[in-house]
A = this chain, B = another copy of it.
């Protein structure tokens, strides 16, 4: 009868029972080996079971273990962005990679989803797979983001909000970089280099981080420089250049364009070139985040370096410890932003 049980049925993957029968031990012993409860299994048995597992090509079935343990062994990452190519943004991909790597080390999977708006999110929640916790990156105006977070809050699993500082949500922790300080720092450099009129160029489809960067820019400029603001369609690079050129036309060329991110800063560099302006001599330009693509444009844009990958790691670690423990340790985690070298700010007067 041993032979009877030791042969997995054709077409069905081997189960714990098959391994146990093959190695001639109980299922529990196999389970103990798999879960590295080494104290409870003799070395000899362990080796034999490992061999059986390898021989049969056994892999534990997540759904069965999950049902028993009341865990899905998965964390979701949901992006709310108008573009269905929701991973085109390097910020998103850095966060996702950081999360995925940390989660994989703990035996968890990362499930990524993109939705274009709140209705898309509702549809997703109807059909989407369960997870043990959720990270979310939402763009757009604040009321829409709040609706997104409240929908997710109702799911009753731990929530990590990435790059939005939103208080008052149950079982939620916000993971943000210090955009305001970063924007203040780089704007102060520009002002120290002599700029008195600044053009803050933001994407017209807002990310919450942009709001904080604008606050930092205005804080640095207070009583020292004048700040104008325009919105660009980030999805249309040539259009962004045109928007910036139009702003030059209408309100004159400022001393500096402070881009809400590198993409827009680079658009400003292109706009300057098309007008025959030399960067940084005639016009200074700054960006934000310093992801590798900024090198493609010349001259290299002065920027602030984002800890996006580390933010993803932090969110993963936070969610995992929340799942194992009782609650988030804090309600907010802030990572610093540091200067990234570039050549689109003139040397400071002090430095000269």
Contact = CB atoms under 8 A, between A and B. Distances in A.
Contacts of A71: 63
Contacts of A238: 295
A211 B88 CA distance: 25
Contacts of A90: 88
7 nearest interchain CB pairs? A63-B66, A87-B93, A109-B111, A62-B130, A63-B67, A63-B63, A237-B295
B101 A97 contact: no
Interface in A250-309: 263, 266, 270, 273, 292-298, 309
A316 to B, nearest CB: 13
30 contacts: A57-B154, A59-B155, A62-B72, A63-B63, A63-B64, A63-B67, A64-B67, A66-B66, A67-B67, A85-B309, A86-B100, A87-B87, A87-B96, A87-B97, A93-B93, A100-B112, A100-B114, A101-B114, A104-B113, A104-B127, A104-B128, A105-B127, A108-B129, A109-B111, A110-B111, A110-B113, A237-B292, A238-B295, A266-B296, A296-B297
A171 to B, nearest CB: 13
A129 B293 contact: no
A13 B156 contact: yes
Interface string A294-332: 111110000000000100000000000000000000000
A114 B97 contact: yes
Given A60-B130, A84-B101, 10 more contacts: A62-B72, A62-B129, A86-B97, A96-B112, A104-B113, A104-B124, A109-B129, A110-B113, A238-B295, A263-B296
A73 to B, nearest CB: 5
A148 interface: no
Given A64-B67, A111-B111, A94 B85 contact: yes
Interface of A: 13, 57, 59-67, 71-74, 76, 84-88, 90, 93-94, 96-97, 100-101, 104-105, 107-114, 124-125, 127-130, 154-156, 237-238, 263, 266, 270, 273, 292-298, 309
Contacts of A104: 113, 124, 127-128
A292 B298 CA distance: 17
A296 to B, nearest CB: 5
Contacts of A125: 59
A24 to B, nearest CB: 24
A296 B295 CA distance: 9
B298 A130 contact: no
Contact of A298 (B110, B129, B297, B309): B297
A311 to B, nearest CB: 13
Contacts of A94: 85, 87-88
Contacts of A65: 63
Nearest to A13: B156
Contacts of A266: 296
Contacts of A74: 74, 109, 111, 129
B114 A112 contact: no
A295 B297 CA distance: 9
A321 B76 CA distance: 24
A196 to B, nearest CB: 29
A273 B298 contact: yes
Of listed A155, A237, A270, A295, residue having the most chain B CB within 10 A: A295
